[in-house]
Chains A and B, each alone.
Chain A
Amino acid sequence: MSNNLPLVSVLTLLPFAGGIVVLLLGRMGRSVARLIAAGVATVAVAYTALLWSRFQPAFAGMQFEEMHAWEPAIGLVYHVGLDGLSLLMLAVSSIVVLMAVAASWSNPKQGPAYFAFLLFLETGLFGTYTALNFLHWFLYWELSLIPAFFLIRMWGGSGRARAATQFFVYTMVGSITLLLAFLAIFLASGSFDFIELARMAQTGQLATAIGQNLHWHPWDSSHMMMVLFCGAFLGFAVKTPVVPFHGWLASAYAEAAPETTMALTGALSKMGVYGFLRILLPIFPEQMWRARTVLLWLAIASIVLPAFAAWAQSDLKRMFAYGSINHLGYCILGIVAVAGSTGGQASLVSDKAAAVTGVMLQLFSHGITAAALFWFLALLERRSDGQTGLNDFGGLRRAMPVFSGLMGITLFASLGLPGLMGFPGEFLIFKGVFRLDGWAASLATFGLLMTAVFLLTIVQRVFSGPLGERWTGMPDLTLAERCMLAPAIVVMFAVGLYPQLISGMVHGTVVHFAGLVGY
């Protein structure tokens, strides 16, 4: 195993160090803290871009790998590396965190500690997306939970205590089942390494090892694997979230400050989908295949029901919160459909590749779009004295034309209008899934429809109609805000018009994932 320069480790620890500096220098005032935070977040984006430029897209395996023995007695080996998926997630998280820092720039309530927690969260994200050994992956997975909890708990709205507790309890339960499942896998196989476990799963060694070492009469190895799969699945299902494990989401997203929710929905929720791709699909392909019907129904439920729920809300934050479940539901649908179709015919493989590419694009586009939407809400909330109700506004396009225009673009990107970022991802997912599981794709289109309905409702109620008297003097976006938002809007068009930007980068990884389940 070749050991490269510790590029990935440095990137992971960079925000953490930045957060410490922010805390130490925080006494000098909020403006110093935010400057450092913005600097660190920008460096992280640039650093990711550097990795992006040195990345070889055609190569399916891990790149920039680092491997060091740590505590062999418990299978702890420091192992990090990047493939297309990891790199994509690094890009999303670094951009989203930078956006969150920018959004908090002029919110006086959010002091130095806020920026420090955001940076700590970024380290947790980077670590989760690059670690390849379960134990230190789990460390980052849990560590990202702590700053997220405090961001909700300390800077949220009136119901923040309850929301934060709910968030913590839900994710903790999922984490524990995940931990127990991996403990059992380690006991049977002696490895915590994702790559090694995936290899064992592909060759059938994992099932054999489980059968030999975890003999629990009257369960045989396939029962045991199913139990372990359920444990791991729960961890990711809560985080994503998949309906019916989404109970924490709406109140957490709505009670947290919108700047916090940007990071939660833009970056943190991707951890769940990442787990599906990095862990469930390679290590439990057979179990996913066996459970495909249930999983497909869960995916459909996650697409359709939240779209209806969003429509029924009267608060913009809650609408977008439910919209977030819906959008990530497409990712789950794509992954499950890929896992649920066996056989290695060439046509199937190309459909699977399409679906996986779509999932990747969707991950990226949802991260940016959802973060941008909550950014707009943050701007709106500051101007309206905290009002974010659907019916509180009306006719805003007359008072704030630029704001309405840019938010409109983002809303359309979110509902998947061709030419904007959301389209290629959803299109490719449906293209793939229609061939793999036609009925599931058909049912999921109801979700597409309802998303359009509720997003257009927002456009109608907030931007059109007569301008409310209260809002006549509402200031439009300032120059600084326009400049900060512009790059995000540019990205929405760029990826929408030229999806190759993303899909070209992840090509090797997509082929790898699509070929995983040909057993």
Chain B
Amino acid sequence: MLAWTIYLSFLGAVAVTLTPATRPVVTRFLALLTTLAGLGLAIVAVAQNRSGQLITIVRTPWIPSLGIEYHLAADGISLVLVLLTGIAATAGVLFSWNIDRRVKDFFALYLVLIGAVYGVFLSFDLFELFVFYEIAIIPKYFLIAIWGSTRREYAAMKLVLYSFAGSALVLAGMVAAYVVSGEHTLSLETLAHFPFPVHFQMWAFPLVFVGFAVLAGMWPFHTWAPTGHAAAPTAASMLLAGVVMKLGAYGCLRVAMMLFPRGLDPWGFRVFGFGSWQQVFAVLAVIGIVYGASIALVQKDLKFVVGYSSVSHMGFVLLGLMTLNQIGLSGAVYQMFSHGIIAGLLFAVVGRMVYDRTHTRDLGELSRIPLGRLIPFAAVTFVLAFMASIGLPGFSGFIAELEVLIGAWRAFPWMTWIAGLGILIGIAFSWRALQATFFGEPATAKAPEEVMPPISVPERLGAYLLLASTIVLGLYPRLLMDLILPSLNGPLFEQLRQGGWR
């Protein structure tokens, strides 16, 4: 049944194009219904599969001559991300309610993107996963290039080029795996148990990992992210940061680490002090955490602040993956979910609630508008999002970052301190953005008060949905942990556990 998340999104995309152009409301409701249906299916699936074991949904031959199958399946990690996609997609539609230019095209592309994302998370055939991964790139380009703002064509092209470059690496790794295994299959289930030669894994792992990590915003391949996030329309920023970056992180875990776990083993020699890919990528992750936060601290454009904060938060995902222990990995998955929600919320406030009303994202100009008084709802939402983003307890980010830090402490203690420094800088830049945006004082005491359109119902609903998600999962982490942990302990990750797991 979970397969219908994909089909419904694609069908919805087609249906949206058939709606009358004169009645944008119909289009919007249709898009909302489609995403809501996807969310409903995701919730039902999570409710039914409380053990997080691998369940096969569809499995039929697709290109038999190459051994390629159409294979949809889900374990706990997939379910968590499918749920995230459902929530982010629904919220995204709610925050796009005010799109009035080429509405049909917008929602059609939006739904294609959603469908492709569901497809990646549910694919258990490497080829199929790759196809969905590529499908997702195209709507991203148009969403940014047509409905975007600041330097949109540059940003859209940059995003696409980075994505394709990453894909090329993945493709090379995929073909190599197909040939080396000689099993005449690209099924992840089969390949996960295939013992690839260690020397092969040593170069295939970094290839595929970097390929996916480009999309996860790993430093130094992150530069598409802030420009892309800033240029994209609100809903697309929410999806880019909330879900698309997770595609990359998911690929790192599901493909690179699951298939080539020995690639993380020590090399047996040292280059510049590094003894394994694990150390290399962990250092890159920590650099991303600190670098992203530091750059966010000096940005003038509010959307760039949030964009760089995503780079910083995704660093925690990558660091968690590189800890190679249960708590760090589960923290990484939890952070994928948590950041998806929180980044969505931040972009919603910045892009929709603030920018669409003030038409500026410059912190200096914003600080002269008493936004806290004009749109208090946005201020409250942003304060809560800010608290969630800096990882205060009670929000999902706390659990996720705590687990990653605990895991990291076991693997590389000194890096934990640097990551902790990143959290501090994170507090500083969030603080600065919050102060300037909502608690600025007008330059003159009697500045003419602008009248702002009030916060609309869809905006409120979207904000409630995202806030509820991060708080519920901050207070009751077992809801997802019960899905994540059995998956990590399941047969798929057996090789990883036997490899560098400690």
What is the distance, in angstroms, from A218's C-beta to the closest C-beta of chain B?
14
Q: B275 interface residue, CB < 8 Å from A?
A: no
Interface centre among A74, A161, A168, A173 (most CB of B within 10 A): A74
Across the interface, name the chain A residue whose C-beta is closest to B402.
A74
Question: B405 — nearest CB in chain A belongs to which residue?
Answer: A183
Is A186 touching B406 in the complex (CB atoms < 8 A)? Answer: yes
Q: Is B409's CB under 8 angstroms from A73's CB? A: no
Query: Quick check: is B413 within 8 A (CB to CB) of the other chain?
Result: yes
A187 touches B410 (CB 8 A): yes
Known A-B contacts A138-B393, A161-B439, A216-B413; the reply to A74 vs B406 at CB < 8 A is: yes
Do B431 and A168 touch across chains, with their CB atoms under 8 A apart?
yes
Once the chains bind, are B435 and A142 in contact (CB under 8 Å)? no
Binary flags per residue of A154-168, CB closer than 8 Å to B gives 1, else 0:
000000010001001
- Determine whether B387 belongs to the interface, using a CB cutoff of 8 Å to chain A: yes
Name the one of A165, A183, A216 contacting B406, with C-beta atoms under 8 angstroms: A183
Contact A139/B393 with A71-B477, A183-B402 known, Cβ cut-off 8 Å: yes
User: Is A135 among interface residues, defined by CB-CB distance under 8 A?
Assistant: yes
B 340-365 to A, binary, CB cutoff 8 A, 1 in contact else 0: 00000000000000000000000000
Give the chain A neighbours of B427 by CB distance below 8 A: 172
Chain A residues near B392: list those with CB within 8 A.
Answer: 139, 142-143, 146
B330 within 8 A of A: yes
Tell me, yes or no, whether A176 is within 8 Å of chain B by CB.
yes
Q: Are B393's CB and A73's CB within 8 A?
A: no
Interface residue A292 (Cβ < 8 Å from any Cβ of B) = no
Asked whether any CB of chain B lies closer than 8 Å to the CB of A352, the reply is no
Main secondary structure of the interface of A (DSSP, over half): helix
A153 touches B439 (CB 8 A): yes
Residues in B406-451 with C-beta less than 8 Å from chain A: 406, 409-410, 413, 420, 423-424, 427, 431, 435, 439, 441
In the complex, B394 has a CB within 8 A of chain A: yes
State the CA gap A146–B392 with chains docked (Å). 10
Question: Given A183-B402, A183-B405, are A71 and B410 also a contact pair (CB < 8 Å)?
Answer: no
Q: Which of B399, B402, B409, B441 contacts A184 (CB 8 A)?
A: B409
> A352 vs B111: C-alpha distance in the bound complex, in angstroms?
70
Say whether B125 faces chain A, with CB atoms less than 8 Å apart.
no
Q: Which of A160-209 contact B (CB under 8 A)?
A: 161, 165, 168, 172-173, 176, 180, 183-184, 186-187
Given A146-B387, A183-B405, are A73 and B327 also a contact pair (CB < 8 Å)?
Answer: yes
Q: Is A143 a contact partner of B399 (Cβ separation < 8 A)? A: no
Complex formed: what's the CA distance from A138 to B402 in Å? 13
CA distance A76 to B477 in the complex (A): 10
- Residues of chain B with a CB closer than 8 A to A398's CB: none
The residue that A136 contacts in the complex, of B393, B405, B420, with Cβ under 8 A, is: B393
| B502 on interface, CB distance cutoff 8 Å | no
Contacts of A70 in B (CB 8 A): 476, 478
Q: Are A74 and B409 in contact (CB under 8 A)?
A: no
Per the bound structure, the CA–CA distance linking A143 and B475 in Å amounts to 13
Are A142 and B393 interface neighbours, CB within 8 A?
yes
A378 shortest CB reach to chain B, Å:
24
B298-338 CB mask vs A (1 if < 8 Å, else 0) is 00000000000000000000000000000100100000000
B403 at the A interface (CB under 8 A): yes
Q: At the interface, yes or no: B485 with Cβ under 8 Å from chain A?
A: yes
A138-B393, A142-B393 in contact; A176/B424 too (CB < 8 A)?
Answer: yes
Once bound together, how far apart are the Cα atoms of A173 and B431, in whole Å? Answer: 14
Rounded to whole angstroms, the CA-CA distance of A37 and B480 in the bound complex is 37
Residues of A within 8 A of B424 (CB): 173, 176
Contact of A135 among B393, B435, B485 (CB under 8 A): B393
- Collect the chain B residues with CB atoms within 8 Å of residue A161's CB: 435, 439, 441
Report the minimum CB–CB distance from A53 to chain B (whole Å).
32
Given pairs A142-B392, A183-B405, 6 additional interface contacts (CB within 8 A): A76-B477, A143-B394, A168-B431, A176-B423, A183-B402, A183-B409
Could you show 9 A-B contacts with beta carbons less than 8 Å apart? A73-B481, A76-B477, A142-B392, A143-B393, A161-B435, A173-B424, A176-B424, A183-B402, A187-B406
